[in-house]
Each structure stands twice: as C-alpha cells, then as structure tokens.
Amino acid sequence: MELPDSLSKLVAALGALPSIGPKSAQRLALYIAESPEVVAFKLSQTLVDAKKNIKRCTVCFSLTEDDICSICCDVSRNKKIVAVVEKMTDVIAIENTGSYKGLYHVLGGLINPLEHIGPDEIRVKELFDRIKDEEVEEVMLALSFTIEGEATGLYLGKKIKEQNPGVEINRVGSGMPMGADLTYADVATLARAIESKRSV
C-alpha cells in the first residue's frame, strides 16, 4: 500500500536511524501521525534544541552544553588517568559501572583502512597533545574488541610509548563475561580468557 507522501518521508527519516527497521519506522510514523499535534511538534523542537545546545567538550570531546564537560570540571576526579574511548556511549557505559574515577578522551571513531579512516580522521593528535601538555601518567585503552578496536589500540600504544616513555599504557581486560557458561563461550572469547588467566 502506498502511504501519503509526507508520511512516507517520515517513515524514511525514522528508518534511517540506527536499529529502527522498516516495520518499526512505519509504526512510529503512524503513531506520530495519529497523535495530537503536540507530540510531533515537541519532538521536532527537542531535536533542534539538542542539536543547538550540545557541543563537544574542548578537553575530552564528550558531549556537553558547556565548553568543558562536567567530568573534566570535576576536581574530585583523577586527572592522571585518561580512558581512551571511541564514542560518547562508551563514556556513559564506563560511568555507569561506578568503578572509574579518571578522565576520558573520545576519539570519535576507530582506525579502519577499509573505510579510509586513518589516525588523522579521528582525534588522535588531540590525545597526543593532551598527554604531552597535561599531567597524564596512565592511559587506559577502552576500545571495542573488534579488528578496528585492536588496530587502533596497537597504534595508540606504540605511538604513546615512543612519544612519552614514562606514561603507563593499559587496556581494559577481556575474557569471559560475568555470568557466562564456559560450554557456550565462543572460541575467540575463551582463547582470550585463557591467555589472560590471573593468579587467585
């Protein structure tokens, strides 16, 4: 069935968002179309407001409404440790654990030669400058355990060691997730868990 033009456009715009499939997009568009005007207008205004007000922290490049984000401003945080992450959602995930009290650096992507993303396309220079200029003693790489994440981690580790031999470089541990059953673990995860065995 062909939908009215402006409804089709709304379905397409919603369907372009991540993890919204064609069926969800249609359901959302029809929900909005059948709701009182205020629903669509409020959502529309919220989108514009968010885009206008949100900018990147000039220190760590996470999202904020101020020049410097609340984490970078927080005097109680340990400024000697910088966690390097790919994107803002990783910052939120780490903050939600409550077990990290250092600062962050949001790269804005991972090195990916197939997609023509090299070190110059992500905030690598800004990271090196921070390590040079600030009192950073430890860099904790908290990147995805994917080919791109591993490649980016290797590159950063090598470069930071060359430029700042005194800085300690760590990587968040990998292995079996909590609550998982060994029998059903995939080989790559289990192999990594065996490699990273620890004394008890």
Q: Which of 21, 25, 37, 199 binds a second copy (CB under 8 A)?
A: 37
- Cα–Cα distance for residue pair 56/68, rounded to 1 Å: 8
Q: What is the dihedral of CA 129, 135, 139, 142, to 10 degrees?
A: -80
Should residue 59 be labelled a site residue for a second copy when binding is judged by CB under 8 A? no
138 SS3 class: strand
Q: Which of 40, 117, 151, 185 binds a second copy (CB under 8 A)?
A: 40
4-33 residues in contact with a second copy (CB under 8 A) are 4-7, 9-10, 13-14, 16-20, 24, 26-33
* Residue 60: partners with Cβ closer than 8 Å, 6 or more residues away: 69, 71, 72, 82, 103, 104, 105, 106
Q: Which of 53, 58, 78, 170 binds a second copy (CB under 8 A)?
A: 53
By beta-carbon proximity to a second copy, the closer residue of 16 and 182 is 16
- Cα–Cα distance for residue pair 59/61, rounded to 1 Å: 6
Task: Report, in Å, the least distance between residue 200 CB and a second copy.
Answer: 32
By beta-carbon proximity to a second copy, the closer residue of 6 and 163 is 6
